[in-house]
Amino acid sequence: MRVALASVALCLMLAAPARAQQAAPAPSSAITPQDLAKSVHNPFEDFVKVPIQAATGFNVGNNHSAGVAVNLQPTIPFKLNADWDLIARPSLTVTYTPSPSSQFGLNDLQTSFFLTPENASEWIWGVGPIFQFPIASSTDLGTAKWSAGPTAALIYSQGPWFGGVLAYHLMSFAGARHRGSVNQTYIEPEVSYNFESGWYAQIDPPITYDWTAEMKNAWVLPVGADIGKAFNLGPQAISLQIGAYDFVKHPEGGPGWMIRASVTLLFPTGK
């Protein structure tokens, strides 16, 4: 737990000098509600973003219980030079799962880094590595493996529309020998329509495929949608979002559907 908290805290502390290297911060009130809403979805926006998402899964296990996961995934841009930015995205999750035995605690820590061009506007891409660290607080909540792999994202932003796809592949290279290896693909397509008022509707399913599992347990495939609104609360830019997803495919004992809600704090840094 100390390692996980220290890793996230380090990234947040580094955000301050990263913002200082860029132009003077743009007041969020100078950004239109529509652009603010689009910035919620954009992993390469010139914003420090702190999203906190809570997802509740239902029909978990034989007793059809509910499990909860709370995720913190700040996005922190670092200006490398006039042409390139580096985006850091640590991801820390705390989970309660009722099956196969009741567990509460930390999952493994993930951290992604994206190298992305500074001046891209309509089509934006980023590539880099992703790392997963075995810091889970119990056996059922983590892999006990050190893992790494490539990650990439491609997004399109024009008018009220925002679309894109983020993907990564993780493979284990060290860790507990008695635990199975990690070999997992993650794909997150997203399409959103963002209104001038700051309201938005999006489809954003997190899809995973576990190459080490049997076919019937390999896919996690949700289908659903979210609605949200980005706005200014005094000097602070913020977004609130809620949505529901049905799991068309999921491992045996996994949730059948979920509700997720998130709060995102946005700190425009300016160009």
Beta strand ranges found along the chain (DSSP E): 47-60, 65-72, 76-79, 84-97, 103-106, 109-117, 123-133, 145-158, 161-175, 183-194, 199-203, 207-210, 219-233, 236-249, 257-268
CA distance linking residue 40 with residue 51, whole number of Å: 9
Q: Would you say residue 253 has pLDDT above 70?
A: yes
* pLDDT tens, residue by residue, 56-66: 999 998 888 99
Give the C-alpha separation, 168 to 6, whole Å: 24
- Name the CA dihedral angle for 38, 40, 41, 45, rounded to a multiple of 10 degrees: 80
User: Which has the minimum average pLDDT: 3-17, 22-36, 196-210?
Assistant: 3-17
Least confidently predicted of 4-8, 130-134, 259-263: 4-8
Tokens for 256, please give them: 């059948």
Q: What is the pLDDT of residue 109?
A: 98
The predicted model gives 171-196 an average pLDDT of: 97
Residue 2 has pLDDT above 70, yes or no: no
Which residue from 239, 244, 232, 236 is spatially nearest to 263, judged by alpha carbons?
Answer: 239
45-49, 190-194, 210-214, 228-232: range with lowest mean pLDDT: 45-49
Confidence of residue 112 (pLDDT cuts 50, 70, 90): very high
pLDDT in the model for residue 1: 47
Cα(68)–Cα(79) distance, rounded to whole angstroms? Answer: 36
* Contact predicate 270/26, CB 8 Å: yes
Average pLDDT of the residues in 245-249: 97
> How far does the chain reach from its first CA to its final CA, in angstroms?
36
Q: What is the structure's pLDDT at 62?
A: 85
- pLDDT score at 228: 98
Question: pTM of the predicted model, to two decimals?
Answer: 0.88
Give dist(CA 244, CA 258) in Å, integer. 6
Tell me, what's the pLDDT at 268?
A: 82
- Binned at pLDDT 50, 70 and 90, residue 6 comes out as very low
DSSP β-bridge partners for residue 217: none
Q: Give the domains, in start order, of the chain with CATH numbers.
A: 2-268 (2.40.160.40)
Q: What is the pLDDT of residue 63?
A: 86
> Encoding tokens for residue 67?
């499990």
How far are the Cα atoms of 10, 154, 168, 171, 183 from residue 151, in angstroms, in the given order?
A: 21, 11, 4, 12, 14
Mean pLDDT value across residues 40-44: 93
